[in-house]
Amino acid sequence: MDYKEIARGVKADSFKTASLSCEVRDGALKAIIASLREHKEAIFLANKKDLQRAAQDSLPAPIQSRLRFDEHKLADCIKGMEDLAAMEDPLFRQLLKRQLDEGLTLVKTTCPIGVIGVIFESRPDALVQISALCIKSGNCAVLKGGSEAANTNRALFDCIFEAGVAAGLPQGFATLIEDRAGIDELLKCHESVDLIIPRGSNAFVQYIMTNSKIPVMGHADGICHVYVDKDAALDKAVPIVIDSKTQYAAACNAVETLLVHRAAADEFLPRLAQAAGTSIELRGDADTCRLISCKAANSADFETEYLDYILSIKLVDSLEQAVEHINRYGSHHTDCIVTENQQAAELFMANVDSAGVYQNCSTRFADGFRYGFGAEVGISTGKLHARGPVGLDGLVTYKYKLFGNGQIVADYASGAKEFHFKDL
Amino acid sequence: MDYKEIARGVKADSFKTASLSCEVRDGALKAIIASLREHKEAIFLANKKDLQRAAQDSLPAPIQSRLRFDEHKLADCIKGMEDLAAMEDPLFRQLLKRQLDEGLTLVKTTCPIGVIGVIFESRPDALVQISALCIKSGNCAVLKGGSEAANTNRALFDCIFEAGVAAGLPQGFATLIEDRAGIDELLKCHESVDLIIPRGSNAFVQYIMTNSKIPVMGHADGICHVYVDKDAALDKAVPIVIDSKTQYAAACNAVETLLVHRAAADEFLPRLAQAAGTSIELRGDADTCRLISCKAANSADFETEYLDYILSIKLVDSLEQAVEHINRYGSHHTDCIVTENQQAAELFMANVDSAGVYQNCSTRFADGFRYGFGAEVGISTGKLHARGPVGLDGLVTYKYKLFGNGQIVADYASGAKEFHFKDL
């Protein structure tokens, strides 16, 4: 396969996709829903093959569970697609309409980014969600899923592709890459691919970032914090910390480090230790170790994304010190303050330099579904373009259209004409 | 100077800047305006030194003219700052407020990007504009201007810095780098600097992009096109092409390639050649050379940003062919169609993959001032974050604030609770 040639074809189709009406795009989503329902047995069968191989290869239980695509996952996918189809069109939205002068009108309009390469983990539902987001936002998707889900991905893709094309999408709307080598080929297609969204390990995302000229949106690390303030309600703090750590320990939005105000530590830490029991390994700084029995944390602990049932703990003297620690060691992902003091919460939220700044709730809420976006294509810890969970909004850009009737700049430079700005 | 240390200090100050009220930021702008007026003689004197050296070194006339900072340029700068001070605050704007469930509220709010490094050409007014944009948008600016303007930049910077700090901005709000080596040091500060905006030659911008982990916003090339359609009004087309080429030939938004529909070429090209006279060197493809006397263009011409009084010309059979040429050879900067056919204009504007798509006006309008942004920090040909002339909007990002009262995800995952999305 000549990937550059394929990418060029996708690029050409992306201009067609960009011009499709919302009716056609929503129609395609509905056609795909119908097709997924119709072909579900074939999809489940393909998934069975993947699950069998995963069991043979003794893959870790969380990966096997992520791999499963059953009635329940299908229903979730379909619900997400229905939500997307019902959402307002993210394209052709006028962000600005301004008269620059008589007969010279500037219009800023949303449009798709173009061709988006998404590389994702072995989770077949991700393929459906990402495809759906790209269809709704008028982008062409080049998809590479984890190889453990190869059979399921192929079955889902065939279903989506055929229904999409039959509903009027150009062939380039979705392309499936099935070999690992295809990733490196994709990274070379900077002339045709506008954006890469990699999901996966820190090392993998770093690899993508350093091996392509294509802009990358995503997150390498997810070192999230919960800070228990001196004015915290401890009956909220304990479950928030436990949920942030254990509700899904391998997620990027799970908490890795707990910061506790010294004034709250005496009472809070024993309660936390009790709630954690033996299910979470606690690693505390020297002060923490004096208050509860736990392993000693070394400085590397505060730079580590465990993705496991391990939590590092540090006492701080003030909210300012907590903020400083988070901005220094954190991943600018999601960080939470537990406090009943609104002023403290505002200070924390203003000064913590993260995509998500929370008060009194679990860091695990950082997710496109939970934000009501219908689906997410990933989470960005960068500060440009899209930040946090990336839904439809993050998949569009804009262009400036300027409509004139012969205006030239020399007339304005000479003073013969003047600009008369007026927002319309 | 330890640049990493300096950058770390600026980063720390960026959180203070981010929290300043719009009154303080606008007040600083006004204080700086007053200070520039007060110290204008010292600034003009410093500029005289730069101009003298430039004359001694026989710098090209356009560079000498760009270097000049006189009453007229000062008045322009002050006008821009007054406009900025009068503009709505780009910060603390609520982009979304959504109840996820009872007592769990998501707020998406604009905030500054943080620390922005701007490297700009020898144009002292750029220093004033960029500083002003960063102040209004709550960002800290690290500035490196062209060395030819060193004296003027220092005088302007001192004035801005002192007035800004006196008006309540933290010291890190603006930092001036004065040695060339400082650029390479700045590029290493990815832990503290959030964004680099380089302005300058293609080679220079490429150098920045490949030598830093910091995100870069800007444009490397500016190969802009004018396409004269078969339904063009030729009395508009001629001045539009001449203005796009000659109003400021060294600008990134000057036209480099003219595409002409075959059906319009017979009549249009001789008129253009007459208007161009000897002031523009025309380089045409074989078809063009049959219609007018001009140099022969080779294929490299269509990939070249001349930044000079040279224009390459190619005939096309259709609008589609013109679009294809632009998307292949262009810089996604600014491209114009001259046509009276509205449907053709719409097709062109939808399919040309550029930040600016124009109908019947000069490409030279692609500029923050001319768009009514008050000022611009640069022009972006990337598709992410900001596209086209970058004003205040392009210098802000957002964060998600989530306010809860103890909510945990486990309750929603188990079905004990359900999300109830409601936009507030």
DSSP string, A242-286: HHHHHTTTTSTTSEEEEEEEHHHHHHHHHHHHHHHTTTSEEEE-H
Q: Is A63's pLDDT higher than 90? A: no
Confirm if B240 and A406 have CB atoms less than 8 A apart: yes
Encode pLDDT of B113-152 as tens digits: 999 999 998 899 999 999 999 999 999 999 999 999 999 9
Question: What is the 8-class DSSP label of residue A151?
Answer: H
Give the type of residue at A398: Y
- Chain A: residue whose CA lies nearest to B365: A409
The pair of structure tokens assigned to B371 is 């768009």
pLDDT for the residue B205: 85
CA dihedral B311→B315→B321→B323, nearest 10 degrees, is: 30
Residues A117 and A144 sit within 8 Å (Cβ to Cβ): yes
Instruction: Using CA coordinates, name the residue in chain A closest to B192.
Output: A328
Nearest residue of A to residue B373 by CA position?
Answer: A421
pLDDT band at B188 (very low <50, low <70, confident <90, very high): very high
Query: pLDDT at position B144, please?
Result: 95
Cβ atoms within 10 Å of A345's Cβ, excluding its own: 23
CB contact under 8 A, A359 and B401: yes
Alpha carbon A102 to its chain's center = 44
Nearest to A244 by CA among B103, B409, B414, B102: B409
Per-residue model confidence (pLDDT) at position A259: 98
Q: DSSP E strands: which ranges in B3-139?
A: 94-101, 104-112, 115-119
List, for residues B302-317, the tens digit of each pLDDT value. Answer: 999 998 999 999 999 9
> B400 - beta bridge partners?
A356, B108
Q: What is the pLDDT of residue A250?
A: 84
The torsion angles phi and psi of A9, rounded to 5 degrees, stand at -65, -40
DSSP A208-235: HHHT-SS-B-S-S---EEEEE-TT--HH
Min Cα–Cα distance to chain B from A292, Å: 24
For residues B232-239, average pLDDT: 98
CA distance to partner chain A, nearest, from residue B229 (Å): 14
- Please tell me the distance from the alpha carbon of residue B227 to that of residue B237, in angstroms, as a whole number: 9
Strand partners, B97: B107
Quote the pLDDT of residue A199: 86
Q: Which residue of A has its CA nearest to B410?
A: A247
The pLDDT tens digits for B38-95 are: 999 999 999 999 999 999 999 988 788 889 999 999 999 999 999 999 999 999 999 9
B397 vs A409: CB contact, 8 Å cut-off? no
Contact indicator for A218, A199 with CB cutoff of 8 Å: yes
- Predicted pLDDT of residue B347: 95
Which token pair is A257?
């480090």
Instruction: Find out whether B306 and B256 touch, Cβ atoms under 8 Å.
Output: yes
Contact between B135 and B91 (Cβ < 8 Å): no
pLDDT at residue B200, rounded to an integer = 78
**Is B15's CB within 8 Å of A351's CB?**
yes
pLDDT value for B400: 97
* B65 contacts in chain A (CB < 8 Å): none
A 10 A CB-CB count for A245 gives 27
Of A402, A388, A385, A403, which Cα lies nearest the Cα of A113?
A385
Q: Which of B233, B359, B362 sits opposite A409 (nearest CB)?
A: B362
**Other CB atoms closer than 10 Å to residue A393's CB: what's the count?**
15
Q: Is the pLDDT of residue B323 over 90?
A: yes
- Partner residue facing A408 (CB), from B104, B354, B362: B362
**Residue-level length of chain A:** 424
Mutate to test the interface with B, among A401, A411, A419, A421 (most CBs of B within 10 A): A401
Closest by Cα among A114, A110, A65 to A92: A110
| Sheet arrangement for strand A356-361 | A295-296, A281-284, A310-316, A255-261, A224-228, A334-338, A356-361, B396-407, B104-112, B94-101, B422-423
- Domains of chain A, each with CATH number or no CATH: 3-94+114-218 (3.40.605.10), 224-365 (3.40.309.10)
Q: Compute the residue count for chain B.
A: 424
CB contact under 8 A, B400 and A407: no
Chain B nearest-CA residue for A111: B350
**Nearest Cα residue to B246 out of B339, B324, B290, B308:** B308
Gap from B122 CA to chain A (nearest CA, Å): 21
- Is the C-alpha dihedral spanning A398, A399, A403, A407 positive or negative? positive
Do B215 and A382 make contact, defined as CB atoms within 8 angstroms?
yes
Mean pLDDT of chain A: 95
- Set of chain B residues whose Cβ sits within 8 Å of the Cβ of A401: 349, 356-359
DSSP per position, B223-278: -EEEEE-TT--HHHHHHHHHHHHHTTTTSTTSEEEEEEEHHHHHHHHHHHHHHHTT
Q: Residue A412: its chain B contacts at CB < 8 A?
A: 370
Residue B411 has a CB neighbour count (10 Å cut-off) of: 17
What confidence tens digit (pLDDT) does each residue in B378-408 have? 899 999 999 999 999 999 999 999 999 999 9
The confidence band for B352, taking pLDDT boundaries of 50, 70 and 90, is: very high
**Mean pLDDT computed over every residue of chain B:** 95
CB contact under 8 A, B359 and A399: no
How does strand B334-338 pair with strand B224-228?
parallel
* Inter-chain CB proximity B397 and A413 less than 8 Å: no
For B206, name the nearest residue in chain A, comparing CA atoms only. A213
Q: Are B105 and A365 in contact (CB under 8 A)?
A: no
Which one of A328, A371, A392 would you mutate to disrupt binding with B, by most B Cβ within 10 Å of its Cβ?
A371
Nearest CA in chain B to A214: B382
Sign of CA dihedral A57, A219, A124, A145: negative
Q: Tokens 């520039």 label which residue?
A: B36
Confidence of residue B204 (pLDDT cuts 50, 70, 90): confident
Task: Pull the structure tokens for residue A18.
Answer: 């960009």
Q: Enumerate the residues of chain B whose CB falls inside 8 A of the CB of residue A217.
A: 384
Q: By three-state DSSP, how is residue B151 classified? A: helix
Tell me the per-residue pLDDT of A132-191, one tens digit each, with 9 for 90 and over. Answer: 999 999 999 999 999 999 999 999 999 999 999 999 999 999 999 999 889 999 999 999
pLDDT digits (tens, 9 = 90+) for A188-247: 999 999 999 998 777 888 889 888 889 998 876 789 999 999 999 999 999 999 999 999
pLDDT tens string A377-420: 989 999 999 999 999 999 999 999 999 999 999 999 999 999 99
The 10 Å Cβ neighbour count of residue A166 is 12
**Which of A349, A361, A398 is closest, CB to CB, to B387?**
A398
Q: Which residues contact B343 (CB under 8 A, 6 or more apart)?
A: none
The Cα A198–Cα A181 span in angstroms is 15
Look at residue B201 and tell me whether its pLDDT is greater than 80: no
**What pLDDT was estimated at residue B206?**
85
Q: How far apart are CA A283 and CA A258, in angstroms?
A: 10
A387 and B408 in contact by Cβ < 8 A?
no
The SS3 assignment for A28 reads helix
Among the listed residues A131, A124, A118, the one whose alpha carbon sits nearest the alpha carbon of residue A66: A124
Chain A neighbors of B355, CB-CB under 8 A: 399-400
User: Residue B1 pLDDT > 80, yes or no?
Assistant: no
CA atoms within 13 A of residue A175's CA, in its CB half-sphere: 28
Q: What's the farthest any 2 CA atoms get from each other in chain B?
A: 80
pLDDT of residue A348: 97
Which residue of A100, A388, A409 is in closest CB contact with B372?
A: A100
Is the complex ipTM more than 0.90?
A: yes
CA distance A42 to B270: 66
A399 within 8 A of B334, measured Cβ to Cβ: no
Question: What's the gap in Å between the CA of A257 and the closest CA on chain B?
Answer: 17
A358 and B404 within 8 Å at the Cβ level: the answer is yes
H-run or E-run covering A157: helix A150-166
Q: Please give, rounded to a whole number of angstroms, the shortest distance from the CA of B421 to a CA of chain A.
A: 6
| DSSP strands (E only) in A113-166 | 115-119, 140-144
With H, G, I as helix, E, B as strand and everything else as coil, classify residue B90.
Answer: coil
DSSP string, B179-232: STHHHHHHHT-TTT--EEEE-S-HHHHHHHHHT-SS-B-S-S---EEEEE-TT-
Query: Residue A144's beta-bridge partner residues?
Result: A119
Per-residue pLDDT at B173: 98
Please report, as a single letter, which amino acid is at residue A230. K
SS3 at position B316: strand
Taking alpha carbons only, the member of B95, B115, B10, B90 closest to residue B391 is B90
Question: A285: distance to nearest CA of chain B, Å?
Answer: 25
- Whether residue B384 and residue A385 make contact (CB cut-off 8 A), yes or no, is yes
Q: Which of B88, B409, B422 to mutate to test the interface with A (most CBs of A within 10 A)?
A: B409
> Which residue stretches of A305-364 are H helix?
319-329, 342-351
Cβ neighbourhood burial of A85 (10 Å; 0-12, 13-18, 19+): buried
Cβ contacts (< 8 Å) between A72 and chain B: which residues? none
- Read off the pLDDT of residues A96-122 as tens digits, 9 standing for 90 and up: 999 999 999 999 999 999 999 999 988
Beta-bridge mates of residue A189 = none
Task: State the maximum Cα–Cα separation within chain A, in Å, rounded to a whole number.
Answer: 80
Number of helical (H) and strand (E) elements in chain B, helices listed first: 15, 17
Q: B375 versus A289: which is more confidently predicted? A: A289
| Residue partners of A387: CB distance under 8 A and separation at least 6 | A355, A380, A381, B397, B398, B399, B400
Measure Cα distances from B392 to A401, B113, B133, B165, B197 in Å. Answer: 19, 11, 6, 21, 14
Select the residue of A357, A372, A408 nearest B401 (Cβ to Cβ): A357
| Residue A219: predicted pLDDT | 75
pLDDT tens-place string over residues A260-290: 999 999 999 999 999 999 999 999 999 999 9
In terms of DSSP H, where are the helices of B297-422? 319-329, 342-351, 409-414
Question: Given pLDDT bands bounded at 50, 70 and 90, which one contains residue B219?
Answer: confident
H helix or E strand, kind and range, residue A423:
strand A422-423
**Cβ contact, residue pair B406, A355, below 8 Å:** no
